[in-house]
Amino acid sequence: MKISYSFGMIDLLHAGHIKALKQARAFCDRHIFGLIEDKSVIEWKGTLISPFEQRKETLSCIFLIDEIMPQSTFDPYQNLKKIRDTYPDAQITLFKEESWGLLPNEDFLHEINVQTKLLRYDDRLSPEKIAEKTNISALPRYKMKTIVSSKANTLLNLKLKLKKSKIEEILIVTRGQFLNNRSKTLDSVKSKFSSTGRYIVVRSSSSAEDCFDKSNAGRFASILNVDPGNTDEINRAISAVFNSYSKYADGQDEQVLIQPQTENIALAGVIFTRDIKNNVPYYMVEYDDDGCSDSVTSGRKRAKSVYILRNANLKTLKPKWRFLLASVREIERILNGIVLDVEFAITQAGQVVIFQVRPVTTSYRFKIKENDVYVLDAVSEVQKGYEGLLCKHRRGHMILSDMAFWNPAEIIGVNPKPLDFSLYREIITSSAWNGGLIPMGYKAVARDLMYKLGNKPYISVDYSFKT
């Protein structure tokens, strides 16, 4: 028996769906369709036109589908596993859209003897194109280009696709494997990593973390500095990670992720592909340069921060940020349409190592297009304003600071009202700042001390020192 499995939301049924369903049905004796449940659709899209039962009723009228299975997430693996259990001798094929960046890892599909084939999908009928053509402003930006699964699966899916960064070797252990055949599992860890001469890290990869509806970042255990040649250490570390899942996730398919521990780290931290607090187009980097891979994520130290405009020219950045942004932009191209939280390290040799890639759980709420245009235009105006600020007594652009002298940040704040700014400028920084210093032996500087870029006041460092 030949079984085809395809899946999707089918919120607005159209000709593109029918074309894809025909391709899947023509290949098999039985076509099973995984219909994604409402909760996952809303978490991804932020909106839903037709609830599950209505979508199911519509699909049940289509002769191209023999059976409809509820699919709880965008990862079809669990449904495919159920189908394999029901039809142990069947030839099962998963049909996937050719433009998707990632899918459930091929290794897991091979374990249950599932093949994959590409579906030719008409991109003109994608949800965002339909929204654009019909001017449905209520539909948020949506691109179903990828499947983000568990921490381990996502890294495994990305590993062979990344050219600008590195993901360490991966071994995934499930709770079922560990409990049912512990000695074989421990031997497989030793066999894979004991010859590397490096410690390993045993990390959490629970179904209750790093998904679209919840993050649970840092809730579960990860064990560093595990000797890959010591069976007892490996056993204790894996047990500790599984035990940390506790009431959150106790299934047999729960995973632990094992990798070599990255060495010679220059700095490590996390980068968000958007300023999620203010919903503005900046990369937010929180990092530490103490040589540890987890000082930021563990909360042991206060992180340093860098904000980089999303459209920044990489050539203008310091090498470490240039390497990091090039790596993250590559991941963004693969996981198109998702706001990401990426855990990383940069080695002394400049190699970017990716430890974790997870979706920001509230990303679908961001009004990216509207906000980005406004912010990028405002930044461009600030840049033009600064280009016009030339120092009068030396060649080059003026050096500015918000805390250098006659400190406006403390007196009128970093975002003052127009009246506050004009009064402070008239009373203090236009001339009085210098006039009061001349009797004390300072030089006369016939220049205004304070300038505004955007709505933030700055002090001229050049004129401060000129006195």
CATH assignment of 2-144?
A: 3.40.50.620
Contact 198, 384 (CB under 8 A): no
- Give the pLDDT confidence score for residue 142 in this predicted structure: 39
The token duo for 465 is: 């020192």
447 vs 429: CA distance, rounded Å: 9
Least confident span in 74-78, 202-206, 299-303, 453-457: 299-303
- Give the pLDDT confidence score for residue 289 in this predicted structure: 86
Q: What is the DSSP string of 437-455?
A: TGGGTPPP--S--EEEETT
Phi/psi of residue 188, nearest 5 degrees: -65, -35
Mean pLDDT of the chain: 84
Domain 169-260, CATH number (from 3.90.820, 1.10.10, 3.30.1490, 3.30.300): 3.30.1490
Q: What is the DSSP string of 186-249?
A: HHHHHHHHGGG-S-EEEEEE-TTSSSSS---TT-S--EEEE-TT-HHHHHHHHHHHHHHHTTT-
Q: How far apart, in Å, do the first and last CA atoms of the chain sit?
A: 89
Confidence class of residue 371 from pLDDT cuts 50, 70 and 90?
low
Residue 276 has pLDDT above 80, yes or no: no
- Give the pLDDT confidence score for residue 217 in this predicted structure: 62
Among residues 255, 343, 328, 340, the alpha carbon closest in space to that of 294 is found at: 343
Interior angle at CA 329, CA 124 and CA 383, nearest 5: 100
- Give the pLDDT confidence score for residue 264 in this predicted structure: 94
- Give the pLDDT confidence score for residue 111 in this predicted structure: 83
123: exposed, middle or buried (C-beta count within 10 Å: 0-12, 13-18, 19+)? Answer: exposed
Residue 273 has pLDDT above 70, yes or no: yes
Confidence class of residue 165 from pLDDT cuts 50, 70 and 90?
very high
The token duo for 298 is: 């563990």
Sign of CA dihedral 288, 350, 312, 132: negative
Confidence class of residue 361 from pLDDT cuts 50, 70 and 90?
low
- Give the pLDDT confidence score for residue 65 in this predicted structure: 96
Higher pLDDT, 105 or 239: 239
* Residue 323, C-beta contacts closer than 8 angstroms, at least 6 positions apart: 164, 346, 350, 352
Residue 140 has pLDDT above 50, yes or no: no
The token duo for 82 is: 């159920």
Residue 256 has pLDDT above 50, yes or no: yes
Same-fold call for 2-144 versus 169-260:
no
- Hey, what long-range contacts does 234-243 have (CB within 8 A, 24 or more apart)? 234/186, 234/189, 234/190, 234/200, 234/202, 235/182, 235/186, 237/202, 238/173, 238/178, 238/185, 238/186, 238/189, 238/202, 240/202, 241/202, 241/203, 241/204, 242/175, 242/178
- Give the pLDDT confidence score for residue 240 in this predicted structure: 95
146 vs 103: CA distance, rounded Å: 7
- Give the pLDDT confidence score for residue 383 in this predicted structure: 86
- Give the pLDDT confidence score for residue 60 in this predicted structure: 93
The token duo for 416 is: 């003052």
DSSP state of 303: P
Q: Which CATH class is domain 265-368?
A: alpha beta
Best-predicted range by mean pLDDT among 98-112, 205-219, 310-324? 310-324
- Give the pLDDT confidence score for residue 141 in this predicted structure: 39
Which ranges of 335-452 would DSSP assign to H, the alpha helix?
368-387, 408-411, 418-424, 432-435
- Give the pLDDT confidence score for residue 385 in this predicted structure: 87
185 vs 181: CA distance, rounded Å: 6
Q: What is the maximal distance between C-alpha atoms in the chain? A: 99
Confidence class of residue 370 from pLDDT cuts 50, 70 and 90?
low
The token duo for 247 is: 């009431």
Q: Is 32 helix (H, G, I), strand (E, B) or coil?
A: strand
In the chain, what percentage of residues exceed pLDDT 70? Answer: 84
Higher pLDDT, 323 or 386: 323
- Give the pLDDT confidence score for residue 278 in this predicted structure: 79
The token duo for 49 is: 């036109």
- Give the pLDDT confidence score for residue 102 in this predicted structure: 54
The token duo for 27 is: 């290949």
pLDDT in tens, 210-227: 555 555 566 788 999 999
Per-residue b or e along 347-367, where b marks 16 or more CB atoms closer than 10 Å to that residue's CB: beeebbbbbbbbbbbebbebe
Phi/psi of residue 458, nearest 5 degrees: -130, 155
Q: Where do the domains of the chain lie?
A: 2-144, 169-260, 265-368, 388-466
280 vs 372: CA distance, rounded Å: 6
- Give the pLDDT confidence score for residue 343 in this predicted structure: 95
Question: What average pLDDT does the segment 177-184 reach?
Answer: 94
Higher pLDDT, 381 or 183: 183
- Give the pLDDT confidence score for residue 395 in this predicted structure: 77
36 vs 121: CA distance, rounded Å: 18
Q: In whole angstroms, how far apart are CA 424 and each of 405, 448, 455?
A: 13, 12, 14
Residue 149 has pLDDT above 80, yes or no: no
Q: Is 95 helix (H, G, I), strand (E, B) or coil?
A: strand
The token duo for 248 is: 């959150």
The token duo for 329 is: 């932009």
Q: Is 24 helix (H, G, I), strand (E, B) or coil?
A: helix
- Give the pLDDT confidence score for residue 211 in this predicted structure: 54
- Give the pLDDT confidence score for residue 42 in this predicted structure: 74
